[in-house]
Structure 1
Amino acid sequence: MQTALQFGPVLAHLDLLQRGLEKTIELATLSILFGAAFGILGAVGRSFGPRFLSWPIGAYVELIRNTPLLIQLYFVFFSLPLLGFKLSSNAAAVVALSIHLGAYATEILRAGIEAVPEGQIEAAKSLGLSRYRIIRHVVLVPAARAVYPSLSAQFILQIMGTSIVGAIAAEELTAVANNLVMQTFRSFEVYIVIAVVYFVLVQAASLLFAGIGKLMFRWKA
């Protein structure tokens, strides 16, 4: 038995798909910004901070990298209210996604920091540069340049990772798709459209991150 594809019922809800896409972009953008900030702080703290700071950061990294993102999402949404921190679905999604990305960004950036030649740091010290300027200009910039391809790939994974936050009723693109399936009973067509939207979104993000990388690291080390 063959069934003809009918995209009309799906395309009739383009406004819902647009809102879902906008929410996906919003969640991805916020979590990437916060996650990258967590990664920078974590990498610097673990590489240059005292031991009592390095150990908790290491424990955070191992805990997040060895547990599923979905479990982390459930923990933030369902467990934090028991401690008095009640978050909306969208806020919980941003928090969980940011914490998740922060752990991976910490390790990626730490690998870049460890790749910076020790002689380069010693030369900066001999010039009398402050610790802050050494970390920022002599260590972080070359480290970020070295690991930027890996970091941007992790950002792409973060965009696709937003697809699970519908599990806590955040109205992103995949959640909208699931609702459309129940409304239209055209599951095959809905998920074809969603797959195309995600493909275009990821390709656009890849070009954007590549452009940002060229803009940020256009100077030579």
Structure 2
Amino acid sequence: MAYEMNFAPVLARAPELIDGAIATIELSAKSICIGLIIGLGVALIRFNRVPILKNIAAFYVETFRNTPLLVQLFLLFFGLPFLGVRLTATESAIVAVSLNLGAYSAEIFRAGLDAIPKTQIEAGLALGLSRLQTMRYVVILPALKVIYPSLTGQLTLTLLGTSITSAISATELTLAGAKIESQTFRSLETYIVLAVMYIAITFTFRAVYTLVGKWLFRRKVPKASIVAATIMDEETSQ
């Protein structure tokens, strides 16, 4: 007997799907912000070869890049209570996804930092810029421009990866869909709707990444000499 598609029972639960989509966006946004901060910090530690810390950073990166996100979620949600630390499902999801993204983005950031010529860094220092100013104006922004496409691709994977957090009942879109599917028994229709919603969310995030990229790179990245002259002019005027 031919299967008859019927989206009515699923669409009747639209408010639940919308709530799930909003929760997914919030979870993704928080995890991306935290993960990028962690990733950049770890990349700078490894790039500058800070004693002891570089080994800790390398251990963190290798650990989280070589274990599944699902296992990391289970360790946080089911394992930490044995150590006296209890996190809610949503808190565990944010921590796990953030740490996972931090490890992957750290390697992407490090690749961008390594792409900056050493002579450019030396030129910045020779022209009177401090180490911090050199990293800020001469290294980080040009490096970010190099790795931006790869970085945004990883952020998209992180967004889609939040669906795994439904395994610990974290509030998000996939969990909302699973509940609707179990109650309506319209599996095909439910997951078609979920797929369409994930596509819409992904394209929205990609549009945001494009706008951010245009804002960040609206002007050509200046060379060390230009940066030094600009900073000196600003300091003189003050």
Q: Deviations over 1:3-22 (max 9, x none)?
A: 21000000000010011001
Match of 1:207 in 2: 207
CA separation in 2, counterparts of 1:90 and 1:189?
Answer: 27
Q: Deviations over 1:57-77 (max 9, x none)?
A: 111111111110100111111
Does 1:99 find its partner at 2:99?
Answer: yes
Match of 1:88 in 2: 88
Match of 1:64 in 2: 64
Match of 2:226 in 1: none
Q: Aligned to 2:2, what secondary structure does the other structure show?
A: coil
Q: Aligned to 1:4, what secondary structure does the other structure show?
A: coil
Q: Aligned to 1:51, what secondary structure does the other structure show?
A: coil
Larger radius of gyration: 2
Match of 1:12 in 2: 12
Higher deviation after alignment, 99-108 or 51-60:
51-60
The Cα of 1:138 is off from its aligned counterpart by: 1.1
Structure 1 counterpart of 2:200, one-letter code: V
Match of 2:29 in 1: 29
Q: Deviations over 1:80-133 (max 9, x none)?
A: 222222111101100000000000110000000000011110110111111111
Match of 1:48 in 2: 48
CA separation in 2, counterparts of 1:129 and 1:80?
Answer: 45
CA separation in 1, counterparts of 2:114 and 2:132?
Answer: 17
CA separation in 2, counterparts of 1:90 and 1:49?
Answer: 35
Match of 2:236 in 1: none
Match of 1:134 in 2: 134
Which aligned segments of 4 or more residues in structure 1 are displaced greater than 3 angstroms?
Answer: none
CA separation in 1, counterparts of 2:3 and 2:18?
Answer: 27
Q: What count of residue pairs does the alignment treat as equivalent? A: 221
Does 1:172 find its partner at 2:172?
Answer: yes
Structure 1 counterpart of 2:203, one-letter code: Q
Structure 1 counterpart of 2:173, one-letter code: L
CA separation in 1, counterparts of 2:132 and 2:57?
Answer: 20
CA separation in 2, counterparts of 1:138 and 1:121?
Answer: 7
CA separation in 2, counterparts of 1:103 and 1:15?
Answer: 35
Question: Could you tell me the percent identity over the aligned residues?
Answer: 45
Does 1:79 find its partner at 2:84?
Answer: no
TM-score, normalised relative to structure 1: 0.98
Structure 1 counterpart of 2:89, one-letter code: S
The Cα of 1:78 is off from its aligned counterpart by: 1.2
Gapped regions of structure 2 (runs ≥ 5) = 222-238
- Mapping for residues 137-216 of structure 1, pairs under 5 Å: 137-216=137-216
The Cα of 1:51 is off from its aligned counterpart by: 2.9
The Cα of 1:211 is off from its aligned counterpart by: 1.1
Higher deviation after alignment, 56-65 or 94-103:
56-65
The Cα of 1:134 is off from its aligned counterpart by: 1.1
CA separation in 2, counterparts of 1:82 and 1:219?
Answer: 52
Match of 2:118 in 1: 118
TM-score, normalised relative to structure 2: 0.91
